Amino acid sequence: MQIDCQQCVEQIGAYALYALSRDERTLVEGHLRSCARCSLFAYHLQSVTHQLPLAVAPMAPSPRVKQRMLAEIQNVIACQMVSAQTPLMTPVASGAPGEPAHQTWPVSRR
């Protein structure tokens, strides 16, 4: 599936803010590869959005917000550790009957 310039322009703001789903982003990026005009527009929009964090003065979060952020970070880290301990692949025995089985690993789809 491909999108045209109008569809791309409708999503380019969200694209520049990394607010599109993976599928939407793939469609926009596919269009950008083939359209110089939209690609230039996306470039300029992204250069603006990259400046946005510099437009506000830095501030320290409230203790409550800071506590929630740290709890969420710890939760993400814990999930990643559990995920890393869970094997994504299991060995598959191969070989004809009567021959020693060799263990091979299927290709990961990660």
Query: Which positions touch Zn ion (CB under 5 A)?
Result: 5, 35, 38
CA angle 41, 46, 52 (to 5 degrees): 135
- Taking the least distance from each CB to Zn ion, the nearer of 4 and 100 is 4
Please state the closest distance from residue 27 (CB atom) to Zn ion, in A: 12
Please state the closest distance from residue 2 (CB atom) to Zn ion, in A: 10
- Taking the least distance from each CB to Zn ion, the nearer of 45 and 62 is 45
Please state the closest distance from residue 84 (CB atom) to Zn ion, in A: 41
Please identify which residue in the block is written with the tokens 């380019």.
12
89 with 105: CB under 8 angstroms? yes
